[in-house]
Amino acid sequence: MGEIEETIKEAIEKVEESSMNSRVAIIVSLVATFMALCNIKNSSMIQSMSQAQAHSIDAWSYYQAKSTKQNLALNTIELLKLQSQKVDEKVLKSYEAKVEQYDKEKEEIKKEAQEFEKKYTEIHEFNDQFEITEALLSISIALFGITALTQKKWLFGFAVILSTLGAVLGTTGFLKISLLGEWVTRILG
């Protein structure tokens, strides 16, 4: 009777092992697919961050150019006043108008540059969230691989927890819900 029990026990273990490996294989394929989608989104975000940063730099350079022009106009006004007592009022007023125009243009440019900086910061926060998602999912895939070899249920459970956490972070990232906050961006940045 002992041999029959042992044969049955071995058959059950093989079925359980096969069942565990099947579950691991299915979950790994789902996690890897979701991770690929998150990676695509993260790449898109990196491009958007680069564009926002480039636009911000361009806007601040344009702002600086307007400041330089404004300073030149102010200096010209001062020079005209110092050169002679009889300054052509039209010339003087045209330079004063330019100074005012540059002031208005600078305010608009400043707002635009700040908007690009804000956009960059918002994208960066979600970029970090997707990077953490990718890290969690990569670790879970490695743990699933070890689970398939060792058949340890606790390891399978830990891998499921990590992959679930990664899936939650990734899904909320797609929905533009920040779970990490700026403090994580500061730590990672």
- Distances in Å between the Cα of 160 and the Cα atoms of 87, 120, 139, 163 are 81, 33, 11, 5
Instruction: Say yes or no to pLDDT of 189 above 60.
Output: no
pLDDT band at 20 (very low <50, low <70, confident <90, very high): confident
pLDDT score of 10 more than 80 = no
Provide mean pLDDT across the span 1-17.
66
Q: What is the pLDDT of residues 113-125, one digit of tens each?
A: 999 999 988 888 8
pLDDT in tens, 123-148: 888 888 899 999 999 999 999 999 99
Q: 10 Å Cβ neighbour count for 39?
A: 16
Query: Which distant-in-sequence residues (6+ apart) come within 8 Å of 155 by Cβ?
Result: 143, 146, 147
Looking at this protein, which amino acid is placed at residue 21?
N
Buried b (16+ CB within 10 A) or exposed e, 60-96: bebbeebeebbeebeebbeeeeeeeeeeeeeeeeebe
pLDDT digits 0-9 by tens, 45-89? 999 899 999 999 999 999 999 899 889 988 888 887 777 667 777
**Rounded mean pLDDT, 3-8:** 69
DSSP 8-state symbol, 178: -
pLDDT, tens digit (0-9, with 9 covering 90-100), for 37-47? 999 999 999 99
Residue 1 has pLDDT above 60, yes or no: no
CA–CA distance, 154 with 140 (Å, rounded to integer) = 13
Give me the sign of the Cα torsion angle 52, 54, 58, 61. Answer: positive
The per-residue pLDDT of the chain, averaged, comes to 86
Question: What pLDDT shows up at residue 15?
Answer: 61
pLDDT value for 9: 67
Residues 6+ apart with CB under 8 A from 49: 120, 123, 124, 127
Three-state secondary-structure class, residue 180: coil
Of 105, 114, 117, 111, nearest to 66 by C-alpha is: 105
